[in-house]
Structure 1
Amino acid sequence: MKWTHVQANWPAFYEAILEKWEDADESTLDEIDGDQRAFVRYIAEITEQDVEEARDEIKQWLAGEIPSDIVMDPLHDNHSIRLSGKYVAEGEDEYADDARFGDDDDYPDDGDDEGR
């Protein structure tokens, strides 16, 4: 993912940031407000690394997947579905119905999938 994406959705990344850097503080993240340089300096400070090491660690973090609850649009959804193919058994289609996961059993099958 690119920093512009993180910056545009800054508060939505708090959970992912706090998961990666447990010593990070939400109020400080509020102050940083998506400023990449400030974030790099902050991560260097809390991890006791130099700025270059922190920048490299953040770069590796950015190379990961976008948290699924961050962006909800067809482009990202379809991208995530395609990537999930590695977890789908051979011969199955990752775009196929997910009824086998059990959540579809909670709804009566009236043939009308609108609203879900």
Structure 2
Amino acid sequence: MKGWMATSAKELFEKALELNPENDSTKVGLGGTYIFGAQAGDPTEVMQGIQRILEVARRDSTNMYAQFMLALGGIESGQFDRAIDRLTTVVRNQPANIEAVLLLAEVYQQKG
């Protein structure tokens, strides 16, 4: 189900980028479809999604959507330290972002 949803979303994000190729949120969303749509966590696809999101984050380090999605990519790829760094940035900038706060706690728990 997750794969089907990611594939459907990918098509829609690609169409949206055709209409507005400069939209960072759409670029980040498209990158997320690669991360979550990867067959059995295929590292090649996960990294392709992360690279798309990094393009936005490197240009605008204050883009918290990109930082959050990179944290999710870190979790998917088992890079918990990177995920913690990204989530800490999000929580510091958006203390009311309960999803980021809870995910940060979960990553710390997974890391031990």
Same fold (TM over 0.5): no
Q: Which of these two proteins has the greater Rg computed from alpha carbons?
A: 1
Normalization by structure 1: what TM-score? 0.31
